[in-house]
Amino acid sequence: NGVVHLADYRAPAWRVEQVELEFDLDISATRVLARLHLRRGAGAAQPLRLDGAGQELHAIRLDGRALEPHEYQLDAQSLTVFAVDDGAVLETEAGLAPDANSALSGLYLSGSAGAGFLLTQCEAEGFRRITWYPDRPDVLARFRVLLRADRQRFPVLLANGNPAGSGELEDGRHWAAWDDPHPKPSYLFALVAGRLEQIEQDYTTADGRAVKLRIFAEADAIDRCGYAMDALVRAMRWDEQRYGRNYDLDVFHIVATHDFNMGAMENKGLNIFNAKYLLADPQRSSDEDYAHVEAIVAHEYFHNWTGNRVTCRDWFQLSLKEGLTVYREQQFSAEMNSATLKRIEDVQVLRRAQFTEDAGPLAHAVRPERYSAIDNFYTATVYDKGAELVRMIAGRLGETAWRRGMDEYFRRHDGEAATVEQFLAALGDANGVDLSAYLAWYAQAGTPQLQARGTYDAAARRYRLDLRQRTAPTPGQARKQALPIPLRVALLGADGRALPLRREAGAAPQDECVVELDAASRCFEFVDIDAPRVASLLRGFSAPVQLSTDQGADDLAFLLRFESDGFNRWEAAQQLARRAFERVLGGAQNVPELDIWCDTLAGLFDDAALDPALLAELLTPPELNELAQPCTPLDPAAVFAARERLEQALAQRLGAALEQRHAALLKTERGGLDGAARGRRRLLNRCLRLWLRQDPAQAQEIAATRYVLAASMSERLAALAGLLADGAESGEKALQDFERRYDNDPVTLDKWFALQATIPRPDTVERVAGLLRHARFSLRNPNRVSALLMGFAARNPLAFHRPDGAGYVLIEQALAEIDSLNPTTAARLATALKDWARLEPGRRALLQAALQRLAAGARSQDLADILRRTLGD
């Protein structure tokens, strides 16, 4: 049935010591010669079974002798050779058609046949679409690669490792050889061939290696690669300083493509990037784009140690490299910018993507126990919850012990394929700590609900904190166990200052304590406490849980005013907004929580000491899909209307101050890329959005001007989005202008598609249907699909869930088509339909019917897997 189980893992029966690959590259007919130097692996002698799909076998030789048909067996997914000796050399010759590869896995064409270039994507199982091979991460081999191609058409020929020669051939062809000294699994293989420009920078590692850093892109994009180079250099230094990790080849190459299934890929020495996450320039990129480029360049670079030097034993261990690398990337970004804002953003991503995943039919453990399509497990759970687990463990150890543990992990497993158990063992052993209790976090799906109750005994001067955890059942996991939950706690006094905390009399006082809940419930006591006003719990979001407390709206308002932990200050605003939202949604006319939320924010609005970026975040209630999460049955239009009432109330409460602050910010220097300028832009944009609600006529006029005179893309986008949400005439004119300006630039034009897809109006369905026919739109391109269709289905509940089901039909039809082109992209888009069962009956029936029709016709295993799990079959 194609299901792979963690419990069935067996060490490979055959290993590959070395592999030589020769490519004769051509857009429509590439030849691949593979020479595998084989070694018997674990277990009794078994035939050699290699993975392989979608290619033609032209020749097969064992130790130089052509094999007879009865000596091997070829089917659609494998090649089995029956009698192979230890140390044998197997040669195969394959034929591929890169231009016919619309799945973008294996060897494929980016761009047009006339002008595009060839490249590969092998994670997770793309290498088997290039040649027959034991395509599993625990087979590590040394790769030598020879590329041959027409010089005019393919002047640049790149592969992993160090350059090992190049030269001319007859008939205008040339060759380049590459040698990677570091044994690696096949998923890290890459080649790139085509007409590309490059920028270059010299780098010397802390241990003295001279490295050429190069970024390659097509001619019209190369002048937008400078920021990525800058981020790369900073990431390399940071990994040396924070983790003692040096780069280990003579070159480090990055290539940008417009045709890519994910964000980027960490192939050894040859990272490949979705252009969206590599290109940046002040005119065309928003602040968010810059942050993405910095984070993703760093992420892929950090994989060189967490992923490449130490890789995964099997795909169940995916979070071993992804969770750990996301955590390292988050640390890096926090240190480059504001740590508080970074933490807020990380938690926003977690709540919007992972908590919703954990609460629905696609919930799975960070280390799942089975899969039928591994590409469907590159999820928020594996990445973002995985990073939270690493953060908890790092926090549990403390900074010095964390570094000691990581050093030990690299020392033990460099050059190996490891497991989560080995990771925890290395971290624990290095510090004499047993971390095995954290394994349960990797095995158990679902977000723990943590209940906290505080009581103060004034006579005994004791504060008692009662904690209780519970995790609701998830598909296939009915029973849940208690998890270790570290909780950072402070008690604030009436003046807002942290009270000295002691767990026992005579102990040294601390401003903050970490208590670890290691059972279903427990109580913790603090002694010698004087007059606590409020507890600040789960500071910095110290564990990925949903916290509920007995604190009232006044307590939250107090935290919002006085809490010194920036994250928890923001969290108090979020909780207040959430409570107001719940009352509004329940139909209440008089909502004290709403008044408290607005009044407290109004009190902070003019606080000159408050970071403008943080203020902008404080002024923003949780997103629709976060608010919608607890609602069953779910009426997306009602959720939208209730959130609108919050925004409206806040805008009215702030009144004329919005226009004034907006005007004041306009007079400041806002062009730069530094944190202060970015913060001012963030607040400027938030003020404009609220002002549009408070005084639409005047604010629309200003927004239209701001669109034209914008000092940056962030301002331009905010002005345009505001106008479009309001349905302003000037918004349509600005849209036309945007299209004209960026018609030739796919990365920027995707913003235009996404902006329209997310206009919160019912008739956006017809707009999106029209855009599907736009000359620049193509279902073959994952970025276009993500901008227009994912934007619509995942970020526009009002239009997507239109009661007549037109939004569902639109996505259903597109999905059926994408499924036959690119299964990974189809499966990802289908995850936007996962919440059907929570909808109110009318919408639920319509969406369920669309899902059932799709499931009946699904062609790919990827889409079929998502639909089957979504429908609960």
Return residues touching ligand HT7 (CB under 6 A): 121, 123-124, 261-262, 264-266, 299-300, 303, 322, 375, 378, 824
Count the neighbouring beta carbons within 10 Å of the beta carbon of residue 558. 20
Here the tokens at position 317 are 């261990």
Q: What is the dihedral of CA 11, 13, 16, 21, to 10 degrees?
A: -110
Which among ligand HT7, Zn ion, none contacts residue 375 (Cβ within 5 to 8 A by kind)?
ligand HT7
Task: Quote the least distance from Cβ 289 to ligand HT7, whole Å.
Answer: 18
Task: Quote the least distance from Cβ 382 to Zn ion, whole Å.
Answer: 10
Q: Considering 123, 125, 294, 300, which one is annotated as catalytic?
A: 300
| d(C-alpha 364, C-alpha 354), whole Å | 10
Q: What is the dihedral of CA 714, 719, 722, 728, to 10 degrees?
A: -150
| d(C-alpha 283, C-alpha 297), whole Å | 20
Let me know if 623 is a catalytic residue.
no
Task: Quote the least distance from Cβ 787 to ligand HT7, whole Å.
Answer: 18
Residue 524 is inside which H or E element, if any?
A: strand 521-526
Which among Zn ion, ligand HT7, none contacts residue 735 (Cβ within 5 to 8 A by kind)?
none
| d(C-alpha 213, C-alpha 203), whole Å | 7
Task: Quote the least distance from Cβ 105 to ligand HT7, whole Å.
Answer: 7
Task: State the residue number with the nearest CB to ligand HT7.
Answer: 262
Nearest to ligand HT7 of 703, 818 (CB atom): 818
Which among ligand HT7, Zn ion, none contacts residue 265 (Cβ within 5 to 8 A by kind)?
ligand HT7
3-state class (DSSP) for residue 164: strand
Nearest to ligand HT7 of 724, 826 (CB atom): 826
Task: Quote the least distance from Cβ 371 to ligand HT7, whole Å.
Answer: 12
Kindly write out the interface string for residues 296-325 of this chain, putting x where it contacts Zn ion by CB under 5 A and - elsewhere.
--------------------------x--x
Which runs of consecutive H residues, i.e. helices, occur in 142-225? Answer: none
Is the N-terminal amide bond of 394 cis, ω within 30° of 0? no
Residue 501: strand pairing partners: 510
Task: Quote the least distance from Cβ 262 to ligand HT7, whole Å.
Answer: 3
DSSP string for 87-135: T-EEEEEEEE-GGG-TT-SEEEEES-TTT-EEEEE-TTTTGGGTS-B--
Q: Which of 429, 412, 231 is nearest to 329 (CA)?
A: 231
Is the N-terminal amide bond of 762 cis, ω within 30° of 0? no
Lateral strand order in the sheet of 173-184 = 65-66, 56-62, 89-96, 30-40, 14-24, 141-150, 173-184, 162-168
Task: Quote the least distance from Cβ 118 to ligand HT7, whole Å.
Answer: 16
The CA angle 160-164-168, to the nearest 5 degrees, is: 110
Which among ligand HT7, Zn ion, none contacts residue 388 (Cβ within 5 to 8 A by kind)?
none
Count the neighbouring beta carbons within 10 Å of the beta carbon of residue 832. 17
DSSP string for 732-755: HHHHHHHHHHHTT-HHHHHHHHHH
User: Are residues 130 and 188 in contact, defined by beta-carbon separation less than 8 angstroms?
Assistant: no
Which among ligand HT7, Zn ion, none contacts residue 262 (Cβ within 5 to 8 A by kind)?
ligand HT7
Task: Quote the least distance from Cβ 425 to ligand HT7, whole Å.
Answer: 24
Residues at the interface with Zn ion (CB under 5 A): 322, 325
Q: Which residues are annotated as catalytic?
A: 300
